[in-house]
Amino acid sequence: MSDHIKTPGPMGASPRCGARTRAGGACRSPAVHGKKRCRMHGGAPGSGAPTANQNARKHGLFTREAFAERREIRALLGEARKLLEEMK
């Protein structure tokens, strides 16, 4: 026996769209899987910018390379700090 009708919890707990509607509120339709918007608000398959789209890039502060560089610098600083601590 299916208990689907009696357990709509997972369906209601799915991520919601949240786009602003003409009525002023937020759209509460379920967001398309893997996207933040529903099928009517930009979540449709094939919509949106292609992956690794460079058209909106302004400064590169959030590129994978920049993240990696900062991570390495942080690690190096941590090592240096540890070394200084040991020398005390």
Instruction: Pick from 19, 45, 58, 88 the residue near Zn ion by CB under 5 A.
Output: 19
Question: Do 36 and 43 touch, CB atoms closer than 8 A?
Answer: yes
Residue carrying structure tokens 């009517």: 40
CB of 14 to Zn ion, least distance (A): 13
d(C-alpha 88, C-alpha 83), whole Å: 9
Instruction: Pick from 4, 11, 25, 29 the residue near Zn ion by CB under 5 A.
Output: 29
Residue 28 Cα to chain centre, angstroms: 18
Instruction: Pick from 27, 35, 36, 42 the residue near Zn ion by CB under 5 A.
Output: 27
- Residue 38 in the binding site for Zn ion (CB under 5 A): yes
